């Protein structure tokens, strides 16, 4: 028995030794190293390295709930409205031998109803369905409807490589760009397609030259609804984009910018021929206009940490969107009309006189805004604009003047969360009496000026 046990144990030991020797000859399989997500502090908070690359990525966004109220001027209008908006930001950056390579995408979706969907109510609440423009719209109510309106928007999509910016971005003409206000005040705030070159000179000084898509800037409105015998021109094909340039200084005290734009507004003729004199009914002029703007932002730490003051002035001939009057394309920020109460004047970059000759519309806009922190979590914005348009001999009956002033009070109980309320007043005055809506929506009454109040409650989370 002992002999049998010894033989069995010896055999088992031999088999184990042989198996171990054969296993040693096989290729070993080690577990792949785990690729952990690393924090990227080079470009600020929220960035992390995409695993396996040297590209830093930040994913953020915004959710906004807003509730508006405005005076009613016809029984078909709503006195309130609801709006919900979602935003997604994707920011990817990579350090290269030529400088930072950056790609940025901002996508928005908005659903609005009530006063936000009424295009003619004269209170200005409905202007600007989505910042940066609507790429598509569905379930759209009529101009007097309270039905829900939904749209989605590619607000930004650009590449920055060294001094080059290419894609859809903020216009390099813009400065204040609605930094404080909720509702409509004048001043350019336009997202559009562009190709730009920026040179930096040190000490916070830079200069940019940008070729920008004019189709989202141009504005041709039907001003014949307010004055007989005058029509707007039909814009023809353009041969050059808008050429925009700026010089910017950003330092510890704040920033300042001087902007300019050279624009083309070629015309092919009027929308219609009714009401014209015996002269030609076509205006095939090559019209060239321009816009200039100067602005300054001054930090005011002597009042409270985070306080600052904006001051801005713009003048244009043939480019009303450079004054903040929207545009014909999907990138319009605010509506193109001069509107308040029962007055709604559709404005145009180019107007025709009684002989069919085209005239560029002149105008200017003055904008100001002040931000003050009452406490580290409570801040208040006070802002306003004054603007005037001049149609020269073409439509001298209109020449609207507009004033808008407002204030908001915002509480931020935690980082990234804003709860704010706003009150805004608007007044429009025409050079002479113009037609206006009455309670039954007819246009039989004429008035020279009107004003209105509107209010908003906004709850917003940025992350």
Per the domain annotation, does 7 fall within a domain?
no
Q: What is the pLDDT of residue 228?
A: 37
Percent of the chain with pLDDT over 70: 72
Lowest-pLDDT range, 162-176, 192-206, 268-282, 313-327? 268-282
Q: Which residue has the higher pLDDT, 167 or 113?
A: 167
Look-up: residue for tokens 């894609």?
167
Per the domain annotation, does 16 fall within a domain?
no
Residue 153 reports pLDDT greater than 70? yes
Per the domain annotation, does 451 fall within a domain?
yes
Q: What is the pLDDT of residue 249?
A: 98
pLDDT digits (tens, 9 = 90+) for 170-200: 999 999 999 999 988 999 999 999 999 999 9
DSSP per-residue string spanning 380-427? EEEEEEEEEEE-TTTSTTT--EEEEEEEEEEE-SSTTEEEEEEEEEEE
Lowest-pLDDT range, 114-123, 166-175, 190-199, 227-236? 227-236
Domain enclosing residue 398, as ranges: 36-462
Percent of the chain with pLDDT over 90: 50
Q: What's the pLDDT band for 348 if we cut at 50, 70, 90?
A: confident
Residue 441 reports pLDDT greater than 70? no
Q: What is the pLDDT of residue 174?
A: 97
- Residue 51 three-state SS: coil
Residue 243 reports pLDDT greater than 90? yes
Per the domain annotation, does 11 fall within a domain?
no
The β-bridge relationship of strands 242-251 and 254-264 is antiparallel
Write phi, then psi, for 397 (nearest 5 degrees).
-65, -25
| 385 in Cβ contact with 186 (< 8 Å) | yes
Per the domain annotation, does 21 fall within a domain?
no
Per the domain annotation, does 12 fall within a domain?
no
pTM equals: 0.82
Q: What is the pLDDT of residue 227?
A: 37
Residue 100 reports pLDDT greater than 50? yes
Per the domain annotation, does 5 fall within a domain?
no
Write phi, then psi, for 117 (nearest 5 degrees).
-105, 5
Residues near 130 by beta carbon (within 8 Å), at least 6 away in sequence: 85, 108, 110, 151, 152, 153, 155
CA pair distance 239, 264, nearest whole angstrom = 8
Write phi, then psi, for 17 (nearest 5 degrees).
-65, -45
Strand order in the sheet with 350-352: 267-270, 231-235, 350-352, 358-360
pLDDT digits (tens, 9 = 90+) for 449-459: 888 899 999 99
Quick one: which of 114, 57, 115, 65 has its CA closest to 87?
65
Residue 206 reports pLDDT greater than 80? yes
* Domain containing residue 221: CATH number: 2.40.160.10
The β-bridge relationship of strands 99-112 and 136-138 is unpaired
H or E segment and range at residue 251: strand 242-251
CA pair distance 52, 432, nearest whole angstrom = 68
Q: What angle do CA 333, 335, 336 make, to 5 degrees?
A: 115
Q: What is the pLDDT of residue 200?
A: 95
Number of domains in the chain: 1
Residue 93 reports pLDDT greater than 50? yes
Per the domain annotation, does 18 fall within a domain?
no
| 328 in Cβ contact with 335 (< 8 Å) | no
Residue 272 reports pLDDT greater than 60? no
Query: In the predicted model, what is the mean pLDDT of residues 233-240?
Result: 74
Tokens of 342: 């029962």
| 151 in Cβ contact with 135 (< 8 Å) | yes
CA pair distance 331, 322, nearest whole angstrom = 13
Residues near 434 by beta carbon (within 8 Å), at least 6 away in sequence: 226, 227, 343, 345, 397, 398, 446, 447, 448
CA pair distance 184, 173, nearest whole angstrom = 19
């Amino acid at each position: 028995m002992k002999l049998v046990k010894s033989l069995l144990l010896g055999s088992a030991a031999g088999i184990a030794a042989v198996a171990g020797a054969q296993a040693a000859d096989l290729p070993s399989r080690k577990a792949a190293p785990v690729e952990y997500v690393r924090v990227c502090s080079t470009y600020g908070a929220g960035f992390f390295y995409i695993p396996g690359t040297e590209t830093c990525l930040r994913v953020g966004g915004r959710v906004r709930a807003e509730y508006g109220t405005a005076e009613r001027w016809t029984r078909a209008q709503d006195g309130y409205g609801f709006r919900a908006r979602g935003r997604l930001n994707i920011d990817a950056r990579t350090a290269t031998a030529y400088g930072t390579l950056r790609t940025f995408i901002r996508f928005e979706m908005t659903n609005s109803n009530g006063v936000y969907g009424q295009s003619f109510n004269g209170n200005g609440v409905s202007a600007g369905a989505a910042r940066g423009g609507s790429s598509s719209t569905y379930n759209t109510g009529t101009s007097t409807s309270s039905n829900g309106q939904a749209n989605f928007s590619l607000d930004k999509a650009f590449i920055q490589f060294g001094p080059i910016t290419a894609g859809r971005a903020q216009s390099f003409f813009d400065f204040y760009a609605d930094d404080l206000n909720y509702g409509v005040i004048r001043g350019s705030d336009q997202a559009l397609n562009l190709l730009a070159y920026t040179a930096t000179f040190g000490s916070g000084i830079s200069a940019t030259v940008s070729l920008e898509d004019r189709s989202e800037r141009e504005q041709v409105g039907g001003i014949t609804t307010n004055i007989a015998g005058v029509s707007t021109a039909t814009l023809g094909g353009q041969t050059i984009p808008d050429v925009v340039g700026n010089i910017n200084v950003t330092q510890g005290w704040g920033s300042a910018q001087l902007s300019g734009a050279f624009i083309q507004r070629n015309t092919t003729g009027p929308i219609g021929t009714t009401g014209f004199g015996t002269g030609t009914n076509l205006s095939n002029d090559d019209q060239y206009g321009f816009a200039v703007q100067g602005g300054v932002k001054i930090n005011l730490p002597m009042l409270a940490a985070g306080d600052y003051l904006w001051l801005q002035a713009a003048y244009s001939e043939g480019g009303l969107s450079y004054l903040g009057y929207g545009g014909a394309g999907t990138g319009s920020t605010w509506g193109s009309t001069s509107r308040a109460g029962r007055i709604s004047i559709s404005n145009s970059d180019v107007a025709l006189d009684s002989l069919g000759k085209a005239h560029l519309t002149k105008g200017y806009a003055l904008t100001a805004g002040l931000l003050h922190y009452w406490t580290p979590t409570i801040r208040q914005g006070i802002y306003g604009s004054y603007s005037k348009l001049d149609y020269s001999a073409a439509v001298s009956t209109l020449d609207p003047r507009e004033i808008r002033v407002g204030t908001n009070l915002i509480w931020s109980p935690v980082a990234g969360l804003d709860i704010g309320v706003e009150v805004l007043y608007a007044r429009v005055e025409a050079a002479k009496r113009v037609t206006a809506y009455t309670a039954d929506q007819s246009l039989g009454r004429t008035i020279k000026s009107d004003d209105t109040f509107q209010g908003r409650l906004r709850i917003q989370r940025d992350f």
